[in-house]
Structure 1
């Protein structure tokens, strides 16, 4: 089914390496053999979809999830979890992450340019201070603390309400269709409870914000980070299954 992959253009796709000696990976288009680069999807039986993110022919993530056709958002992308966490589909895969702070810098920039509504990053103090200055003209609210003499931890989120940021009705309808009722309804209630608040109010300005966010329901955490709900739905089902197994 290699010819079934469909490219979904996304400006988050990291640029190809400029080094002419850098070898491309094995993922190629079936027609012509061009190097694959971007987010690709293909339909699967039983209303499921397979998604792969590819950088210069190397797969950085690959997962399957239910089709959730109603919901979409410019703040949600299959690249968001990949680039925020420095993922690779297999050990030893070449990646665009040039140093240990690459992902933190990516998160900081993604927040400034509205590519995700919430995130946390750690940067050298001078870089963090420059970021704080740039955020002044945005809807972002942040909390910063020093980690040591040279690093600053920043937690930031938009002050716009969830109901303004996302089509929650569409997302809720998709979750109800994608998951069994006993799994969908707790997530639906959590999403409903977040309609009138913002990521900043709920997970930046409160005490122990990062710990509180870590305890939020998966549907809320995924949406707040700009992660694909189809992948989140798969994690919800897997989490319950693994819990039942133990």
Structure 2
């Protein structure tokens, strides 16, 4: 039997709408019926955890994965894949994404303010130029190119993975969450990245984005600031398909 939902506060949670234009969604706290808003987790049997991100009562993501209790990082959040990709459990429900560039603007800000270590976004030229000016002194390295009247930017931090993350804790968690035949290739990939940075590996190197697309799933997820528990669940599911 699953435990009760526990809220995990995260400043990435989008603000709720103001005014009367949007009615709240169906996700409510069992005690009192208050509207759920944020990241919620509950324990499941067999060392699993269920996670849902909720905006104003509407679920934007809902998944389960293995418990990985050792690793944590301010660069990693269940909100990162949601807000970077504009996810929603029900595409027809209300969402915080106001326009087609909302996610791009969110990624741009998340990179500037240390909410994720690597990402790509597309903005109008004037906004991209303002982003370039703000990025000075942040340790970000970027590559920019025109894209149909807009500017596409791929950016990442110059800090090494071993400085950004507790790789030992993450490796121990992967070994505890996955069978050896699945865990060890991911462990080897993570260990190989310790002395590199997202900028050096996937921006400054030739064909960096193509290299990133071929990287181990554990590395791609970590580099994007996605939760390893969700990544581990994807690795396990891919092995069964």
Q: TM-score, normalised by structure 2?
A: 0.98
Q: Return the offset for 1:91.
A: 2.8
Q: Which structure 2 residues correspond to residues 68-79 of structure 1 after superposition, within 5 A?
A: 68-79=68-79
CA contact (8 A) 1:66 1:178 kept: yes
CA contact (8 A) 1:2 1:30 kept: no
1:224 counterpart residue number: 223
| Length, aligned pairs only | 241
CA contact (8 A) 2:77 2:226 kept: yes
- Give the whole-Å Cα distance in 2 for the aligned partners of 1:7 and 1:104: 27
CA contact (8 A) 1:156 1:200 kept: yes
Runs of 4+ in 1 over 6 A off after TM superposition: none
Q: 2:171 is paired with a residue of what secondary structure?
A: helix
In the alignment, structure 1 residue 4 sits paired with structure 2 residue 4 = yes
- Give the whole-Å Cα distance in 1 for the aligned partners of 2:35 and 2:77: 21
- Give the whole-Å Cα distance in 1 for the aligned partners of 2:26 and 2:147: 41
Q: Return the offset for 1:3.
A: 7.0
After superposition, what is the alpha-carbon deviation per residue over 1:128-153, rounded to whole angstroms, capped at 9, x for unaligned? 111011000201000101113x2011
2:103 counterpart residue number: 103
Q: Taking structure 1 as reference, are residues 100 and 192 closer, same or farther at Cα in structure 2, changes over 3 Å only?
A: same
- Give the whole-Å Cα distance in 1 for the aligned partners of 2:3 and 2:68: 22
Q: 1:234 is paired with a residue of what secondary structure?
A: helix
Q: 1:62 is paired with a residue of what secondary structure?
A: strand
Q: Return the offset for 1:20.
A: 2.0
2:82 counterpart residue number: 82
Q: Return the offset for 1:2.
A: 8.2
CA contact (8 A) 2:2 2:43 kept: no
CA contact (8 A) 1:67 1:178 kept: yes
1:19 counterpart residue number: 19
Q: TM-score, normalised by structure 1?
A: 0.96
- Give the whole-Å Cα distance in 2 for the aligned partners of 1:56 and 1:238: 30
Q: 2:32 is paired with a residue of what secondary structure?
A: coil
Q: Return the offset for 1:90.
A: 1.9
- Give the whole-Å Cα distance in 2 for the aligned partners of 1:46 and 1:239: 20
CA RMSD of aligned residues (A): 1.1
1:40 counterpart residue number: 40
1:171 counterpart residue number: 170
1:57 counterpart residue number: 57
- Give the whole-Å Cα distance in 2 for the aligned partners of 1:195 and 1:22: 46
CA contact (8 A) 1:143 1:204 kept: yes
Structure 1: stretches of 5+ with no match in the other structure? none
Q: 1:21 is paired with a residue of what secondary structure?
A: coil
Structure 2: stretches of 5+ with no match in the other structure? none
CA contact (8 A) 2:189 2:219 kept: yes
Q: 1:152 is paired with a residue of what secondary structure?
A: strand
CA contact (8 A) 1:43 1:50 kept: yes
